[in-house]
């Protein structure tokens, strides 16, 4: 084993990269792409698919990729992770939501939200109870608790009994701000997926994400006559409302709805860039990275104004209340038919770039870590 004795050793649980695309992947990648620039630290990134991690993070002298042997989440957290921490002499270990049941080093946990307490109707009962127990235990066990918004900080204090959570807002990766040739990307998407103009929604599929609301009004407004709808994200919880609407569609209409469960970053990015518009009708989020990524890529976007997303005040007239179906229907129809406003897109892109960047997040992370050094 290589000697990293002069470096601070930080273990990062990256098992989320073994599954489909979701916000916590963006969080880990964005934060650690910035943090690994500090060569006084050595980072141990762990997942089942280490080859995928290498593609995401690149191979650097101060990164070691560790392979989880088991696909079982209980074995991974209770047995494999403590073993790896001890084996490599880790100083700090960073987890999302849940930490191992035994303390092996200083723990850092990011609790993105406790939405199942504010919105229990959108989560299975057993999931809510187990999550509350493990989230509370993990927050109290950890030396540093990060969260991503003031909304989530208040949730953590109320439901987990931890008043010391540190708000570290998400950043948006620099690649989303890069210039690209829209027409070339659209041609690439057409050749790969057979799509012309389309609306996109990137998020896991579950009731609170409101894919059923989007599908319902996409069909009722007859948008399928000139647009496709692309829903990117794997199914977390069953959404009976969505299934009823989707299964009742005529074959010629259903072919205009593309469901993509797992899409790697390299395929997700052009899929976003090629879209006519992005729609984000989620009822509840601890933060909400996807609409910001869409704004960074200059994609016209309408966004829910609920929970933590209320902070995205630059959306102005493109905000909507997902509980008001008439308002949503109006905003959806408008963004589906109107040409984009280039000046507005540039203004919003600039706001997101200044407000949500990973350098700011890394500075907050380093400030908290320094308290233990």
Residues of the domain holding 88: 8-171+357-367
Query: Residues 186, 298: one domain?
Result: yes
Q: What is the pLDDT of residues 167-217, one digit of tens each?
A: 999 999 899 999 999 999 999 999 999 999 999 999 999 999 999 999 999
Query: Residues 179, 94: one domain?
Result: no
DSSP H or E run through 241: helix 240-247
Query: Residues 139, 180: one domain?
Result: no
Q: State the chain's mean pLDDT as an integer.
A: 95
Query: Residues 167, 285: one domain?
Result: no
Q: Rounded to whole angstroms, how far apart are CA atoms 54 and 153?
A: 32
Record the tokens describing residue 216, joined without a space. 């319902």
Is position 2 within any domain? no
Query: Residues 207, 324: one domain?
Result: yes
Query: Residues 235, 163: one domain?
Result: no
Is position 373 within any domain? no
Residue located via tokens 């500090």: 38
Mean pLDDT of 155-166: 98
Query: Residues 129, 24: one domain?
Result: yes
Query: Residues 283, 193: one domain?
Result: yes
Is position 215 within any domain? yes
User: If you ran DSSP here, which 8-state letter would residue 88 be given?
Assistant: T
Q: Rounded to whole angstroms, how far apart are CA atoms 65 and 34?
A: 17
Is position 1 within any domain? no
- Residue 123 pLDDT class (50, 70, 90 cuts): confident
- Predicted local confidence at residue 15, as pLDDT: 96
Q: Rounded to whole angstroms, how far apart are CA atoms 283 and 118?
A: 11
**Residues 150-153: contacts with CB under 8 Å, at least 24 apart:** 150/308, 150/311, 151/113, 151/286, 151/307, 151/308, 151/310, 151/311, 152/111, 152/112, 152/113, 152/114, 152/286, 152/287, 152/308
Q: Rounded to whole angstroms, how far apart are CA atoms 189 and 191?
A: 5
Query: Residues 82, 22: one domain?
Result: yes
User: How many of the other CB atoms lie within 10 Å of CB of 219?
Assistant: 19
Q: Which residues pair with 63 in a beta bridge?
A: 43
DSSP H or E run through 319: strand 319-320
- Whether pLDDT at 313 is above 90: yes
Is position 289 within any domain? yes
Domain count, the chain: 2
Record the tokens describing residue 369, joined without a space. 């870590």
Is position 214 within any domain? yes
Cβ(265)–Cβ(55) below 8 Å: no
Is position 97 within any domain? yes
Query: Residues 203, 140: one domain?
Result: no
Record the tokens describing residue 76, joined without a space. 């991974």
The domain that holds 292 is classified in CATH as 3.40.50.2000
Is position 69 within any domain? yes
- Residue 1 pLDDT class (50, 70, 90 cuts): very low
Query: Residues 183, 287: one domain?
Result: yes
What pTM was estimated for this model as a whole? 0.82
Query: Residues 212, 129: one domain?
Result: no
Mean pLDDT of 69-94: 96
Mean pLDDT of 228-240: 94
């Amino acid at each position: 084993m290589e000697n990293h004795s002069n470096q601070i050793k930080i273990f990062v649980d990256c098992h989320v990269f073994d599954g489909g695309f979701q916000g916590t992947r963006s969080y880990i990648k964005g934060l650690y792409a910035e943090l690994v620039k500090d060569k006084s630290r050595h980072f141990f990134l762990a997942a089942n698919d280490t080859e995928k991690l290498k593609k995401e993070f690149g191979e650097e002298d101060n990164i070691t990729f560790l392979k989880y042997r088991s696909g079982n989440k209980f074995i991974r957290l209770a047995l494999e992770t403590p073993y790896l921490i001890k084996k490599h002499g880790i100083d700090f270990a960073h987890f999302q939501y849940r930490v191992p049941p035994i303390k092996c080093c200083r723990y850092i946990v990011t609790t993105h939200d406790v939405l199942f307490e504010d919105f229990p109707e959108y989560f299975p009962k057993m999931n809510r109870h187990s999550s509350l127990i493990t989230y509370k235990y993990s927050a109290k066990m950890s030396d540093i608790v990060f969260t991503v918004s003031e909304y989530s900080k208040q949730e953590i204090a109320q439901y987990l009994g931890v008043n010391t959570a540190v708000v570290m807002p998400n950043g948006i990766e620099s690649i989303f701000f890069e210039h690209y040739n829209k027409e070339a990307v659209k041609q690439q998407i057409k050749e790969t997926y057979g799509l012309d103009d389309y609306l996109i929604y990137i998020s896991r599929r579950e009731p609170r994400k409101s894919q059923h609301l989007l599908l319902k009004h996409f069909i009722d407004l007859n948008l399928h006559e000139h647009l496709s709808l692309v829903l990117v994200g794997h199914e977390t919880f069953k959404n009976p409302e969505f299934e009823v609407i989707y299964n009742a569609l005529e074959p010629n209409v259903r072919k205009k709805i593309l469901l993509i469960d797992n899409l790697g970053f390299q395929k997700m990015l052009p899929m976003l860039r090629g879209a006519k518009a992005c729609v984000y009708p989620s009822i509840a989020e601890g933060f909400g990275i996807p609409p910001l990524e869409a704004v960074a890529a200059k994609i016209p976007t309408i966004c829910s104004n609920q929970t933590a997303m209320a902070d995205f005040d630059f959306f102005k007239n493109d905000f909507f209340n997902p509980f008001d179906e008439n308002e949503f229907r109006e905003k959806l129809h408008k963004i589906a038919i109107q040409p984009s406003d280039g000046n507005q897109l540039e203004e919003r892109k600039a706001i997101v770039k200044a407000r949500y960047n990973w350098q700011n997040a890394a500075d907050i992370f380093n400030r908290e870590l320094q308290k233990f050094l």
